[in-house]
């Protein structure tokens, strides 16, 4: 759990499609799932018209980012082919980019070809749950496209990750993973990297809560940090409720994440997350 290279430096802003975004003041990323089987039914917007309405709602509520995903990454989700993911994703990226030019569009994919085609269609950020582990061309693709890259920690893939949730020290393992992957990304020439501990991905609830408790331990990396805990099993399982009932718990944990250094909240419910950021700002005086 040691940094061995000297090119870590404080990074509070990213350049996304020519838009300079200051993450020193936390931003909100709204989730729009273009899948029929994502774990939270309220996030499913597979039709272009529904996705556009959701994008408009989220932008009006204060989202900076819209995260579009066409491959369900819930534990045990069915694996779909590249063409199906592409066919679900690209028309919606094009439609949202045309309708909302101020939106910063993130695409949630681990496939480099999908990512590249989405950027050509108007996306600005690549959000890769696999950290380049499921497609060896991802890092070179991101470097060539020169777009911000969200580097998440996961072991295995969505079909196998639940069987791989085993750690001697989850904090140290995730920290070392980020050091190694960031070193690689820098060598490829990627400039803007955001880290995501991957709450719930190859992690039991106790691992996810340990990561949240020590989220500030990732500060020495001096990279923007994304917290994605919205309505997840770590919340609804703990409280013995359904994902549809987990908004209050999500807001509570988002607030904790803000106090521990999160620069992006990735959420299903933008209005409540924006309110949490405003309360955090009033408390800290960070405007």
Residues designated as active site: 232, 266
Question: DSSP for the chain?
Answer: -----S------EEEETTEEEETTS-EEEEEEE--S--SSGGGB--SHHHHHHHHHHHHHHT-SEEEEE-S--STTPPP--HHHHHHHHHHHHHHHHHH-TT-EEEEE-S-HHHHHHHHHHT--EEEETTTTSS-TTHHHHHHHHT--EEEE--SS-TTTGGGG---S-HHHHHHHHHHHHHHHHHHHT---EEEE--TTSS--HHHHHHHHHTGGGGGGG---BEE--TT-HHHHHHHT--GGG-HHHHHHHHHHHHHTT-SEEEES-HHHHHHHHHHHHHHHT--
């Amino acid at each position: 759990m040691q940094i061995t290279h000297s090119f870590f430096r404080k990074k509070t802003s990213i350049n996304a499609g020519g838009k300079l975004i200051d993450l020193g003041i936390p931003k909100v990323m709204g989730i729009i799932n273009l899948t029929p089987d994502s774990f939270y039914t309220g996030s499913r917007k597979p039709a272009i018209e529904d996705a556009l309405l959701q994008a408009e709602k989220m932008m009006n509520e204060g989202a900076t980012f819209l995260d579009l995903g066409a491959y369900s990454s819930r534990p045990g989700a069915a694996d779909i082919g590249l063409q199906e993911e592409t066919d679900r994703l690209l028309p919606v990226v094009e439609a949202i980019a045309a309708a909302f030019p101020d939106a910063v569009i993130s695409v949630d994919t681990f496939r480099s070809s999908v990512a590249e085609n989405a950027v050509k269609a108007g996306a600005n950020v690549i959000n890769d749950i696999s950290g380049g582990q499921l497609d060896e061309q991802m890092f070179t693709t991101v470097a060539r496209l020169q777009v911000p890259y969200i580097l998440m920690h996961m072991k295995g893939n969505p079909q196998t990750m639940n069987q791989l949730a085993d750690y001697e020290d989850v904090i140290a393992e995730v920290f070392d993973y980020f050091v190694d992957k960031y070193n690689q990304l820098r060598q490829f020439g990627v400039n803007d990297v955001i880290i995501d501990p991957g709450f719930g991905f190859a992690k039991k609830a106790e691992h996810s809560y340990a990561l949240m408790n020590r989220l500030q331990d990732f500060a020495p990396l001096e990279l923007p940090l994304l917290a994605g805990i919205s309505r997840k099993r770590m919340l609804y399982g703990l409280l013995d409720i359904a994902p549809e009932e987990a908004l209050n718990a999500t807001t509570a944990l988002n607030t904790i994440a803000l106090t521990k250094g999160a620069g992006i909240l990735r959420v299903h419910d933008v209005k409540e997350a924006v309110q949490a950021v405003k309360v955090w700002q009033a408390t800290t005086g960070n405007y």
